[in-house]
A and B are shown apart, each in its own frame.
Chain A
Amino acid sequence: MKIGKDLVAASAAPLVLAILQRGPSYGYALIQAVRELTGGELEWSEGMLYPVLHRLEEAELIESYSERGENGRQRRYYRLRPEGKKALAAERKQWDVVTAALTRAWAR
């Protein structure tokens, strides 16, 4: 099953925020986490993750810092800011409304 482009785009930011709520992470590991969470159904062009991260950083919902990764190279990590936690909570309420509405609509 291929998920539509618009839906992928809309869900990217809340997914990233939700994964970062578990702890700081970096690009490649974030993609792995997305793949795990979606059972591989949500196909991202992996490079497109970074513009999403930059947008979230610019909005000051997340912040990045440099640290040596397990491979010995400097790596850019991202972590959630308090504002990001709030945004995630708000985002979650909206998705809950949408999914509840869809579930009810499909049950009829």
Chain B
Amino acid sequence: MTDEELEVAIATYRVELIEEGGLAGGDLDELEDHLRALVTELRDAGLSAQIAFVEATRRLGQPHALAREFAHTRPVFGARPSRAAAWSALALMMVSTVPALVAAAIGEAPVTWSVFAVLSVMVMVGLALRTSWARAIVFGNAAYGLVVATAFLFTPTFSATLFVPEALVDAGLVAFLWPSRRSPLSVRGWALAVVGLAASGVSQVQFTIGTPFADAVIAPYLFGIAGILLCARWATPALLAVAGVLVVSIPDLARGADSNPNTALMFVFHLASIAALVTAAVLARRGARGAGSLRALAR
């Protein structure tokens, strides 16, 4: 075996690990580094490149067994946030949600806000417990908030007092929960993060277009999110149903557009929501395991 053939063998080993799924870039680098160190040690001991490689992979472990072991330690939705990151993000979230929660509690907010209030309390508890799912959801929503704020910057209805504080909170959340190489999101985590990007389309259908689509969209959307959280196969049809409703409602969106100064932006968000829903549906399918179980929520 020449040195080039050894390089090919090492690259192949890495590809096999990638194909098993569930390993982050940093994990792959670390295992490759280890494999190289083993091969060097064994060659220095007098073994041929070929035998050194075979013995090194035996000692390090076969890709399939390794990936399975890694999957046990990696939480379902990706790395858990560190204590510092989780609690900083939680403090930021409280700044922006507590006023809304109070409004909901004293009954001065619309019903949808109460749903929002319950959900945000759930997510904040999840964040306090440093769960991987809360991290994915909060990251996705904050990233979406930043995109919205940036988009509105270029419209006549932009208001600094309305957008800047929110945008600052969102920028902080994105920074604290950023999926780095060392602290990645898994496929399921990305599904959760991306599904948040569809919120604009869903709320547009709810508030701008109204019935009959309003009733048809919110239930499957919540089902879809619940499905991703439970790693269930039914998440995918639910999300695709929401995407379908959004597609069907495009003509109605166009009809109501005259009264809205941000028509172009509305369409962009609508189409982006459809794309986000389809992406989330595909990711959810890749990460699904049967009918779903609550176990995924533990970490």
Q: Which residues of A contact B (CB under 8 A)?
A: 26-28, 31, 45-48, 50-51, 54-55, 58, 60, 64, 66, 69, 71, 73-76
29 contacts between A and B (CB under 8 A): A26-B33, A27-B33, A27-B34, A28-B37, A31-B34, A45-B59, A45-B60, A45-B61, A45-B65, A46-B34, A46-B59, A47-B60, A47-B66, A48-B69, A50-B27, A50-B31, A51-B73, A54-B73, A54-B74, A58-B73, A60-B82, A60-B83, A64-B182, A71-B37, A74-B29, A75-B33, A76-B29, A76-B30, A76-B33
Question: Closest residue of chain A to B71, judged by CB?
Answer: A51
Q: Hey, which chain A residues are within 8 Å of B34, CB to CB?
A: 27-28, 31, 46-47
Contact indicator per residue, chain B 176-190, by CB within 8 Å of chain A (1) or not (0): 000000100000000
Taking a contact as CB atoms under 8 Å apart, the answer to whether A28 and B33 are in contact is yes
Cα distance A27–B82 in the bound complex, in angstroms: 21
Write out the residue numbers on chain B whose beta carbons fall within 8 Å of the beta carbon of A71.
36-37
Q: How far is the CA of A64 from the CA of B82 in the complex (A)?
A: 12
Q: Which of B37, B61, B82 has the most chain A CB atoms inside 10 A of its CB?
A: B37
Interface residues of B in 59-107 (CB under 8 A from A): 59-61, 65-66, 69-70, 72-74, 79-80, 82-83
Q: What residues of A have a CB within 8 angstroms of the CB of B29 in the complex? A: 74, 76
> In the complex the two chains form, is B80's CB within 8 Å of A58's CB?
yes
Further pairs besides A46-B60, A51-B70, A76-B26: 4, Cβ < 8 Å = A45-B61, A51-B72, A58-B79, A58-B80
Q: Which residues of B contact A31 (CB under 8 A)?
A: 34
9 nearest A-B pairs in the assembled complex, by CB-CB distance: A47-B61, A51-B73, A28-B37, A47-B66, A45-B61, A47-B60, A54-B73, A28-B34, A46-B60
